[in-house]
Amino acid sequence: MPGIDACLADAMALPGARGAAVIEWTSGLTLGTVGEPPNGDYEVTAAELAELARLAAEHTAFGSAEPGRADGVPAEGPPGGTSGGPPGGGFPGAPPGAPPGGSVAYGSGGPGGPVPVEDLLLTTRTGYHLLRFVEDTLDGAVVVYLWLDRENGNLALARLRLRDLVAGLALI
Amino acid sequence: MSAGVSGSPGPGGAAGPAASMGPIAPADPALLPQLARLAAGRATGALSGEGGVLYLAGGRVVHAESPAAPGLEILLSAAGRLPAEGWREAVERAGARREVARHLVESGRLGGGELEICHLGALFDAAYFVLAPGGGRARFRPGAAHWLGPVRPVPAETVARESRRRRALLAAVWPHPQVDTAPVVRRTSVRAPAVPRRQRAVLDLADGRRTAVEIARLLGRPAFHTLLDLRRLAAAGHVETPRPRTSGAARAAPAGPAPDPPTPDGPSPAGSAPARPGPPGPAAAPAAPAGLAAPAGLAAPAGPAASGGSGPPEAAEASGAPARPHPAEPPAGLTDPADPDLHLLRRVRDALEAKL
C-alpha cells in the first residue's frame, strides 16, 4: 500500500540516514527524493546512480556464469539469486528466429529476464550507500537509494530494512 | 498526494513563469511557453500537440499520452502485474468518475507504490514525445480530465526539464536521431562487445522492419528506454545507423555488403558525428570523411536536431513524416545508395573540391 513518499520517509527514519531517492535507472529519471543528496545535487546523483545500477544489472559477472544459449533459452540463474526468468525470455512477440550461433554473449537470465542483482552496498570513509532494485516492477528498471552517515549508520540493519521497504512498494 | 518530485521548492516564482521552464532554446517545442503559462495559471485541462497530450490539474501534470509511448496499461500487463481483465474491470467500475488508478489500488489489484512508479514511468515516457521539438501548435481544452485520475502529480517545470535531459542523454550516447525512427537493422560484427541483457531483448526483435517504438510496444517497455537502448546498440555497432534523412528518402536495402567498415564501430560516440557504421555506398570509402559533409549539408542538417529529437527538422515538412516515431509511417532515415540526386550532388561536390 505505501507509495513512493511513504517509502522514502520510512527509509529516512533509519539511524544515520541522510538522504534517499527512487530512481528509474534505465532512463535516469528521478521519481522521488528526500533529504540531502551526497554530492549536493540530486540530478547529478541520480545520473551517477543510474550508471551504477546499469552496470550492475547488465554486467555478466554478477549473473549467470555461462552465456545464454543460441536458441534463446536462458542459462540457469545464479545461486541464491532471483528465481529464473521465464523460458526464452518470455516477453510477448518473441521472434521465431534467434540469432544464429552463440557469437554474442548473453547477460544472465536471458533477454527480458529478471535483474540478477538484489542490491549494491558501497562504503566510503564517511558514509554507506545502498541501492536496492525494485523487483517485479517495470522489469527491474527502478532502484531505491539510501545513504547513511558512517558514524550513526548500521549497514546490516539498513540493508534489511530497505529490502522490506522496497518489497512494501508492491504490497497490496 | 504529494507535490511530485521533491528537491526544489517549486518553479522560480520571482523570475516569472517562462523562466521557470529554463531558457527556451530555438529547438524547443512551441508547447513549452504555453505549458509554462498554464502551469503559472494553475490550469486544469488537456494540452494536445502533434506528439500527444498532457493532462494538467491545478497547473501540475497528472497524466500524459502519446501514440509513440506504449502507455500504462501495456506496461502493467507486460510486467505480469495486472491481467487485462483487471484493467478492464477497473475502467468499467471507476472510469466514469475518473478514478481508475485509485480503484486499482483500493480493489487490491496493485500496490500503491508500484502504481506510482509505473504511472510516472508512463507519464514521463509520453511527455518526452509530446514535448519533442517541432511539435507545432498546441490546443488546450480547459477542464478536460483523464479517466485514470491523479496518481502523483508532477510540476510542469519538472516534466519540461526531464524531457530536455532525455534529449541530451540520447545525443550524448549516440548523436544520430535517425536511429529513433528508422527500422532497426541488425549488424553482425565480430569486433562488437557483448550485448547486455536488456538490450539483447531489443536486438532480438530487430527484423529490419520494426521501428524503435514498435519494439518497445512488443516488449511492454517505455518507448524512451528502447530509444536509449538502440542508441547504445548503434554506438556499439550492433545495429545500423542509417544516413540522415534526405528529401529523396526512399525505402532502401540495408547498407551494403561490407561487414566491418573501417569507420570506428566501438562505442565511441564522442565527436564521431561524421563517422557512422555502415558503408557509404557507391561514393565509397576514400570520399567518406568529406562525403559525410555533403549529406549533412543537403539533408538540411541533422545537426541542430542532434539534440536527440526524433527526426531531423526537415522531416516535418517531407511527406508528412512527423517529428516523432509513428508505427504506421513509412521508414525514415534510409536512403538509397543509388539515389540519383545524391549521386549528382556528390559529383558536383567532387568537382568543386577538385578546384580548391
Please state the rounded mean pLDDT for residues A46-53: 94
Nearest CA in chain A to B186: A99
- B279: amino acid identity, one letter: P
Closest listed residue to residue B261, CA positions, set B247, B241, B280, B274: B280
* ipTM > 0.90 (yes/no): no
Contact call for residues B153 and B62 (beta carbons, < 8 A): yes
CB contact under 8 A, A42 and B228: no
User: B96-151, pLDDT tens digit by residue?
Assistant: 999 999 999 999 889 999 999 999 999 999 999 999 987 577 899 999 999 999 99
Point out the residue among B7, B196, B225 whose CB comes nearest to the CB of A42. B7
Point out the residue among A3, A29, A107 whose CB comes nearest to the CB of B200. A107
- The answer to whether A56 faces chain B, any CB pair under 8 Å, is no
User: B253-297, pLDDT tens digit by residue?
Assistant: 444 344 444 444 444 444 444 444 444 444 343 443 444 334 333
User: B177-206, pLDDT tens digit by residue?
Assistant: 999 999 999 988 767 778 888 899 999 999
Contact call for residues A18 and A130 (beta carbons, < 8 A): no
Which is more confident, B278 or B223? B223
- What distance in Å separates the CA atoms of residue B343 and residue B341, rounded to the nearest whole number? 5
Instruction: Give burial (CB, 10 Å; 0-12/13-18/19+) of B179.
Output: buried
- B189: amino acid identity, one letter: S
- What distance in Å separates the CA atoms of residue B261 and residue B273, rounded to the nearest whole number? 16
- When the pLDDT of each residue in chain B is averaged and rounded to a whole number, the result is 75
Count of CA atoms in the C-beta half-sphere (13 A) of B231: 29
**Cell numbers placing B215:** 519494439
Confidence of residue B320 (pLDDT cuts 50, 70, 90): very low
Q: How far is CA B171 from the centre of its chain?
A: 11
Sign of CA dihedral B75, B78, B83, B84: positive
Q: Given this model, what pLDDT does residue B36 score?
A: 94
Q: Given this model, what pLDDT does residue A63 score?
A: 63
Q: Name residue B46's beta-bridge partners.
A: B55, B141
Confidence of residue A103 (pLDDT cuts 50, 70, 90): very low
Backbone φ and ψ for B184, nearest 5 degrees, come out as -85, 125
| pLDDT > 90? residue B163 | yes
- The answer to whether B78 faces chain A, any CB pair under 8 Å, is yes
Q: List C-alpha distances in Å: B144 to A110, A152, B53, B72, B141.
A: 43, 50, 11, 19, 6
| pLDDT > 80? residue A65 | no
| pLDDT > 50? residue B2 | no
- What distance in Å separates the CA atoms of residue B173 and residue A140, rounded to the nearest whole number? 22
Q: Given this model, what pLDDT does residue B297 score?
A: 39
Q: Given this model, what pLDDT does residue A99 score?
A: 39
Q: Given this model, what pLDDT does residue B264 score?
A: 42
Contact call for residues A116 and B102 (beta carbons, < 8 A): no
User: B68-83, pLDDT tens digit by residue?
Assistant: 999 999 999 887 888 8
H helix and E strand count, chain A: 3, 5
Contact call for residues B119 and B64 (beta carbons, < 8 A): no
Q: Above pLDDT 70, what percent of chain B?
A: 64
CB contact under 8 A, B197 and A22: no
| pLDDT > 80? residue A74 | no
Q: Given this model, what pLDDT does residue A113 score?
A: 64
| pLDDT > 70? residue B3 | no
Among A105-109, A143-147, B251-255, the minimum mean pLDDT is found in A105-109
Nearest CA in chain A to B113: A3
Point out the residue among A33, A59, A170 whose CB comes nearest to the CB of B113. A170
Residues 6 or more apart whose Cβ sits within 8 Å of residue B89:
none
- What distance in Å separates the CA atoms of residue B182 and residue B168, rounded to the nearest whole number? 20
